[in-house]
Structure 1
């Protein structure tokens, strides 16, 4: 997120993801403007699209929407529902990408095209969670933990431990020996549990504070897991889109989300005629 200028915040994926394709920029900008609807059923758009890759958010809109979300993140029922819904969203995307893989194995171009469109639409819901990288109320949580734990150092160590994912990332899991992965997982779990317990003990006797500590611990764990799984699904989707481009002779560096969703009346950006082979 760029600094506020003239009452406007700008999220510039062209700058932060300069090697991305227009399709990838579309995935980010569409999910960014829709995250309030996806994550808290709030129909207000988070800003407006300037062009593919850039979203402008009025400062008042930013503060209003994030304020509503931060208030909900104190509610354990909302947090539990958020986690449940987003986990279901990730599973849905994985299943449709499996269908894409099956269509490719069967040389079923029509099936691949349909499944890829479904996967793209479904992934927008998953990609909305990338806002956890900068929109969580971490400053408020840091102040709360400083009060509870007695120092900023302890608060930051606690926050760091609570942000460890419960499962290793795909790259780590495939490139590291199983025993090492298990050891890292056990170490991360132990750190999370120890610091969660310390914060809960410090909050004991104050029910609102105790509830907020439980909520922030759940949200931070969810955010870390969401980022790991989101990135894995993003790479699968992008790889599938590239495979679709190969068999349709579309240019992977030029296609947009409209091409994959059938919204472009002029057809995909092609270099030649489709090969028909998946």
Structure 2
């Protein structure tokens, strides 16, 4: 939740995720604090933490960085670098997470590296509100000649190119439900399915579907309408992918103008990148938190004590006490006459 108070913008993730753990809240606020460095190459954090999950940002700097980011979204070279940064963060987190999963030993240093890698990836969640959607919609309306067509096109551009985690969950759960009803089921299949989809349904530390028994109970509870809904989600995802492929013809509307081609490519690519970021981040957020939680339990360390460095900003030094009467102030200059 974003709110403004005097000259501050306050990002309060406690409101957005009231049931989240301290570590999960810290990852969101630390990711926001890292947004300037990870996405824009500016070294200074975006603000300072009041506490994990609550970030205070000077309003002038908040607005300036978002305006700067929005303008750079029309630059193809910036968008290419942004995509490279995203994939570098994903690769770094994948390596760190695999070093925590069996049969790797869950050492404390490896857990810390995974937390830091996840915090860097979380910087990309700011794309959810940083994209200049109004500017993109106006540009698409200019190309298509129709504001209505532009809105529909923008919604399709915000669909990830890879299968969505909720659609994956729906497809796997629907298939398992049909197999279970047909008698083709076993405890081993339940355990494998929990490993494959447990983290897709809930990305936090509390993931009930990681338990094969809980997942099997859910599958057995599905009625015909529920199973049909899961199948419909899978079909809708396939249909969205087919429509998205047809939208590549958008570049033809630029009439070969080099500047228009570059701007169109950048804006459409950054939309797809934002959708892809949301999808891949949610997948790795769930998988990494599962590995971090398991490794922390093995080390007998509370996960909420493993906060990313971006949350441990140095405290603001207290102001020196002021005297009731200050004879050095301008209003008391007559004393020295």
> Is it true that 1:210 corresponds to 2:205 in the alignment?
no
Aligned partner of 1:159 in structure 2 is 154
Larger radius of gyration, structure 1 or 2? 2
Deviation of the 1:20 alpha carbon:
0.9
Aligned partner of 1:83 in structure 2 is 83
TM-score by length of 2: 0.68
Q: After superposition, what is the alpha-carbon deviation per residue over 1:29-68, rounded to whole angstroms, capped at 9, x for unaligned?
A: 1111111111121123222212111112222111211222
Whether the 8 Å contact between 2:100 and 2:292 is mirrored in structure 1 is: no
Q: After superposition, what is the alpha-carbon deviation per residue over 1:59-105, rounded to whole angstroms, capped at 9, x for unaligned?
A: 21112112222222221122112112211220221122111113xx3
Whether the 8 Å contact between 2:157 and 2:268 is mirrored in structure 1 is: yes
Q: Which runs of 5+ in 1 are unaligned?
A: 264-278
Aligned partner of 1:15 in structure 2 is 15
Q: After superposition, what is the alpha-carbon deviation per residue over 1:162-203, rounded to whole angstroms, capped at 9, x for unaligned?
A: 1111111334324406898986565333322323423x2332
Aligned partner of 1:35 in structure 2 is 35
Aligned partner of 1:57 in structure 2 is 57
> Given the alignment, which residue of 218, 221, 242 partners 1:190?
242
Whether the 8 Å contact between 2:96 and 2:114 is mirrored in structure 1 is: yes
Whether the 8 Å contact between 2:112 and 2:306 is mirrored in structure 1 is: no
Classify the secondary structure of the residue corresponding to 2:305.
Answer: coil
Provide the alpha-carbon RMSD of the alignment: 2.6
Aligned partner of 2:202 in structure 1 is none
Deviation of the 1:251 alpha carbon:
3.8
Classify the secondary structure of the residue corresponding to 2:4.
Answer: coil
Inter-CA distance 5–150: structure 2 relative to 1 (3 Å threshold): farther
Q: After superposition, what is the alpha-carbon deviation per residue over 1:209-247, rounded to whole angstroms, capped at 9, x for unaligned?
A: 321111011111111111111011111122122213322
> Given the alignment, which residue of 137, 161, 174 partners 2:132?
137
Aligned partner of 1:267 in structure 2 is none
Counterpart Cα distance in 1 of 2:169 and 2:25: 28
> Given the alignment, which residue of 294, 297, 316 partners 1:246?
297
Counterpart Cα distance in 2 of 1:44 and 1:146: 37
Counterpart Cα distance in 2 of 1:30 and 1:109: 24
Counterpart Cα distance in 2 of 1:62 and 1:250: 35
Aligned partner of 2:285 in structure 1 is 234
Counterpart Cα distance in 2 of 1:33 and 1:118: 18
Whether the 8 Å contact between 1:162 and 1:196 is mirrored in structure 2 is: no
Q: Which runs of 5+ in 2 are unaligned?
A: 176-230, 313-337
Q: After superposition, what is the alpha-carbon deviation per residue over 1:144-167, rounded to whole angstroms, capped at 9, x for unaligned?
A: 112222232211101011111111
> Is it true that 1:168 corresponds to 2:169 in the alignment?
no
Inter-CA distance 64–44: structure 2 relative to 1 (3 Å threshold): farther
Aligned partner of 1:116 in structure 2 is 111
Deviation of the 1:256 alpha carbon:
4.0
Inter-CA distance 3–143: structure 2 relative to 1 (3 Å threshold): farther
Counterpart Cα distance in 2 of 1:201 and 1:143: 17
Classify the secondary structure of the residue corresponding to 2:126.
Answer: helix
Classify the secondary structure of the residue corresponding to 1:20.
Answer: coil
**Matched positions, count:** 254
